[in-house]
Amino acid sequence: MVRRLAWILALMGAVPFLLSTAALFVTDASSVRVPAITALVTYSAVILSFLGGIEWGLALRDEHGTESTRVIALGLSTVSSLAAWAVLWLPSPTWQVGAALGLFVAVWGADEWMAGRGLLPTWFVDLRTAVSAIVAAILAVALWRL
């Protein structure tokens, strides 16, 4: 039940990316594009921070991984959350969306690293791979449209 719900929620979590990006194709009017870009960038930062929180929580579990891998995982979780916040300060939407795209790929890579050290279950890595690919594709389309 938990795995199925996690998949459903993760896929639903990609919907705001899709809707914000779709809005960029509706019109070139700034009254639509500016809020759509703001929503896309802000939601990207929120979800990247959420993913960092997942990494933090998993790193705290004594029963998985070694102490050194958990220390590295804590560091990675903090970096992803701070980098997500920094995206909001970049000088243009192109930089913001491009950085968010790069960070989603990097956080997925960090999850792959953690999975290889026993900190993440295989089913979660499969979920993260699928949803990260979807989100990266959507952000790439948004970046192209900007």
Count of domains for the chain: 1
Q: What radius of gyration do the chain's Cα atoms show?
A: 16
Residue 115 near residue 136 (C-beta atoms within 8 A): no
Considering all CA atoms of the chain, what is the largest pairwise distance in Å, rounded to the nearest integer? Answer: 53
Q: What is the DSSP letter of 91?
A: S
Per-residue pLDDT of 68-100, as tens digits, reads 888 998 999 999 999 999 999 999 999 999 999
Other beta carbons within 10 angstroms of residue 57's beta carbon come to: 11
Residue 41 near residue 74 (C-beta atoms within 8 A): no
- What's the pTM value of the predicted model, to 2 decimals? 0.94
Question: What amino acid occupies position 7?
Answer: W
Per-residue pLDDT of 25-60, as tens digits, reads 999 999 999 999 999 999 999 999 999 999 898 888
Other beta carbons within 10 angstroms of residue 109's beta carbon come to: 12
* Domain range for 77: 2-145
Residue 36 near residue 27 (C-beta atoms within 8 A): no
